[in-house]
Amino acid sequence: MRVAGSLSLVVWAFAAALATPGATQTQGPSHGLSTFGPVKYGPDFKHFAYVNPGTPKGGDIRLHSIGGFDNLNPFILKGEPEDNAALPFDTLMEAAGDEPDSAYGLIAKSVEVAPDRTYALFTLHPEARFHDGSPITAEDVVWTFETIRTKGHPRYRIVYRDIAKVEAIGRDKVKFTFNPGETRDLPLIAAGLPVLSKAFFAENEFDRTTLKPVLGSGPYQVEKVEAGRSITYKRVADYWAKDLPVNVGRHNFERIRVDYYRDRAVAFEAFKSYEYDFREEFTSKTWATEYDFPGTRKKQVLRATLPDARPSGTQAYFLNTRRDKLNDVRVREAIALAFDFEWLNKNLFHGLYRRTKSVYENSDLAARGVPSESERLLLEPFRDKLPADLFAKPIHFPATDGSGNARDNLRRAADLLKATGWAIKDGKLRNAKNEPFEIEFLTFEPSFERVIAPLVKNLERLGIAARIRIVDSAQYRKRVDEFDFDITTARFVMSLTPGIEQRNMWGSDAADVSGSYNLAGIKHPVIDALIETMVAAKDRDALTAAARAADRVILWNHYLIPQWFKGEHNIAYWDKFGFPAEKPKYAPGYPDTWWHDAAKAAALAQARSAGD
């Protein structure tokens, strides 16, 4: 996942190892896992309900991304990975897009979870192969786990910390043994492990950036690379798992090409010129005002708005509390008061967004109103570590009338800054050492400058010297990984069943881990305790109460300034594709379940050639 949001393929191989939690108890080997209750699909299921099992294979799809890349190994911290670099790698099990927290056999044909959840035993498919034809063995799984945990991206160490050991039992069985405790997530965390070839990395260094394709076992492999500019993935014709139920009706394109562009404006012009085929539109102004071009007028480019049942998650300005000037909650609240969402939505976003008011926005996990009785039971033991208002009031999101006059909010912000020792001297806000208050907003997208500028202007009214720093994508990645910023924007899509991955986002242990998602540097014992309560929750009611309680503590401490959301996907595409009648409830569905429609593609080519 690239913070600050460029479009990428949804590949569970990478995300599951960082996010998706859960597993039910089983009495014997099972074809699937689910967090709460039985899985939707039985052992004899033929395919997921949201695919068209008869889809033709072939044709190309051209996508885009923003920035650049210099690395095809997505499992290490170094370099700037290609956004879709996890595509060639299969995992032990595969997530279902129409269930909130389940997975079914892929490399592993079955799994047995101990009744006390002390271990998970995976049995591998005997047919499982890497792209060079070599078999995937239990030894490869063990090597992958140990290597990723010790040499991989540092955030894996947090995700995998409660897996005590992994051992091969013969050629085709792998046993994951878990540390004692109420860690509900671990069987599915293990199931999300992408399996790498031990033999390949015996001849290639694992922890160095590379533009040499890494040997995988998934539906696609790298065909062509133009460093930092484009990459082409080719469908593996003899893919060993193409007929497994989890893959039927999916991975239909012969090639997937991804072109990289400097910024969103340049990328949009390329789309209008038919240089790539599909885009999800993230810029409200563009969606509202800029899609009147020849392709749309001639119905060659189609637009759609698709519902999104997943949590919209956390899109926010993250305030780096590792900076002394930002480690006082009153200072952070003052900065939040300078954010005028209503003006932005009216003047820049064409009213298309709603204000984000939760880190689990667009879900039942979001805290609303005052704490419920179940939330109070979790929060009461920590009353002395929490603001008194948290127990009596909803979290306050200062609003304006959208006129651009935020005088009342700025007055309150000035009072908060004064209470912390900052004072206006010679027109600038200074501390007791006469040091000016300076803030830098870090981004790699020039198009985001106009969005940050109104906040910068309001901060200047408070005497804060605020500026916007635009860097290239590689430098941005490095600075964020090393937490070298004051404030930056990021968006994280949350799981419907939050668990272990929350440690990586809000937990104290992740605050000093390079590359972690704890961008704000949060170290709060109450949040840590509530994360562990989420991880140990045995039913959805308990999980919901813990998530809402954590939501309150995060927001009341103003570690971030929530931005905006919409519970849907705005997409545009050149009319050359087919797709199922319904998208999966909890996944975008594209391009995973789409296919190349030869008749539509021919008609489009003829129309463009004729100039119609």
| Confidence category of residue 12, pLDDT binned at 50, 70, 90 | very low
Q: How far is CA 541 from CA 29, 87, 497, 515, 534, in A?
A: 28, 35, 11, 32, 10
**Total-model pTM:** 0.89
Read off the pLDDT of each residue in 560-587 and give the average, rounded to a whole number: 94
For residue 58, being part of any structural domain is answered with no
What is the chain's Cα-based Rg?
A: 25
**Token digits of residue 294:** 């020849």
For residue 456, being part of any structural domain is answered with yes
Q: Identify whether the C-beta of residue 321 lies closer than 8 Å to the C-beta of residue 485.
A: no
Does the bond joining 591 to the residue before it have cis omega, within 30 degrees of 0?
yes
Model confidence at 17: pLDDT above 50: no
**DSSP 8-state class, residue 329:** H
**600 φ, ψ to 5°?**
-65, -40
Maximum mean pLDDT: which of 239-243, 281-285, 533-537: 239-243
How buried is residue 493: exposed, middle or buried, by Cβ count under 10 Å (0-12/13-18/19+)? middle
Strands 438-443, 465-470: parallel, antiparallel or unpaired by DSSP?
parallel
534: three-class secondary structure by DSSP: helix
**Given this model, what pLDDT does residue 182 score?**
64
Model confidence at 8: pLDDT above 70: no
**Given this model, what pLDDT does residue 23 score?**
37
Model confidence at 376: pLDDT above 60: yes
- Could you tell me the CATH number of the domain that includes residue 463? 3.10.105.10
Model confidence at 373: pLDDT above 50: yes
More confident residue, 119 or 117: 119
Model pLDDT for residues 511-548, shown as the tens digit of each residue: 999 999 999 999 999 999 999 999 999 899 999 999 99
Model pLDDT for residues 25-62, shown as the tens digit of each residue: 445 799 999 888 899 999 999 999 999 999 999 999 99
Q: Which amino acid is at 13?
A: A
**DSSP 8-state class, residue 313:** B
Model confidence at 111: pLDDT above 90: yes
Read off the pLDDT of each residue in 431-445 and give the average, rounded to a whole number: 96
Strands 487-492, 438-443: parallel, antiparallel or unpaired by DSSP?
parallel
**Given this model, what pLDDT does residue 27 score?**
53
**Token digits of residue 519:** 């961008």
Model pLDDT for residues 338-363, shown as the tens digit of each residue: 999 999 999 999 998 999 999 999 99
For residue 435, being part of any structural domain is answered with yes
Model pLDDT for residues 308-324, shown as the tens digit of each residue: 888 887 899 999 999 99
d(CA 159, CA 171): 26
**Given this model, what pLDDT does residue 339 score?**
98
Of the listed ranges 13-17, 201-205, 298-302, the least confidently predicted one is 13-17
**Given this model, what pLDDT does residue 1 score?**
28
Model pLDDT for residues 133-166, shown as the tens digit of each residue: 999 999 999 999 999 999 999 999 999 999 999 9
d(CA 60, CA 598): 11
Reading phi first (left if > 0) and then psi (alpha if -120 to 50, else beta), residue 152 is in beta
Model confidence at 4: pLDDT above 70: no
Model confidence at 509: pLDDT above 70: yes
Helix or strand holding residue 553 (H, E): helix 540-556
Read off the pLDDT of each residue in 182-206 and give the average, rounded to a whole number: 93
d(CA 264, CA 66): 7
| Confidence category of residue 612, pLDDT binned at 50, 70, 90 | low
480-485's contacts with Cβ under 8 Å and 24+ in sequence apart are 480/3, 480/4, 480/442, 480/519, 481/77, 481/514, 481/515, 482/514, 483/320, 483/322, 483/514, 483/519, 483/521, 485/320, 485/440, 485/442
Containing structural domain, residue 345? 314-565
Strands 423-425, 108-113: parallel, antiparallel or unpaired by DSSP?
unpaired
| Confidence category of residue 416, pLDDT binned at 50, 70, 90 | very high
Q: Identify whether the C-beta of residue 496 lies closer than 8 Å to the C-beta of residue 310.
A: yes
Q: Angle, nearest 10°, between helix axes 540-556 and 525-536?
A: 160
Number of domains in the chain: 1
| Confidence category of residue 3, pLDDT binned at 50, 70, 90 | very low
- Of the candidates 598, 516, 592, 457, the one whose C-alpha atom is nearest the C-alpha of residue 98 is 592
**Given this model, what pLDDT does residue 341 score?**
97
If you search the block for the tokens 């032990």, which residue do you land on?
A: 92
Tell me how many degrees the CA angle 302-2-356 measures, rounded to the nearest 5. Answer: 75
For residue 346, being part of any structural domain is answered with yes
Read off the pLDDT of each residue in 282-286 and give the average, rounded to a whole number: 90
Q: Which residues contact 328 (CB under 8 A, 6 or more apart)?
A: 420
For residue 422, being part of any structural domain is answered with yes
**Given this model, what pLDDT does residue 346 score?**
95
**Given this model, what pLDDT does residue 24 score?**
40
**Given this model, what pLDDT does residue 18 score?**
39
**Given this model, what pLDDT does residue 566 score?**
86
| Confidence category of residue 447, pLDDT binned at 50, 70, 90 | confident
For residue 249, being part of any structural domain is answered with no
Of the listed ranges 227-231, 407-411, 565-569, the least confidently predicted one is 565-569
Q: Angle, nearest 10°, between helix axes 329-337 and 407-419?
A: 160
Q: Which amino acid is at 46?
A: K
For residue 524, being part of any structural domain is answered with yes
Q: Which residues contact 547 (CB under 8 A, 6 or more apart)?
A: 360, 365, 498, 534
Helix or strand holding residue 166 (H, E): strand 163-169
| Confidence category of residue 16, pLDDT binned at 50, 70, 90 | very low
- Of the candidates 89, 61, 126, 54, the one whose C-alpha atom is nearest the C-alpha of residue 236 is 89
Mean pLDDT for all residues in the chain: 92
For residue 398, being part of any structural domain is answered with yes
**Given this model, what pLDDT does residue 14 score?**
36
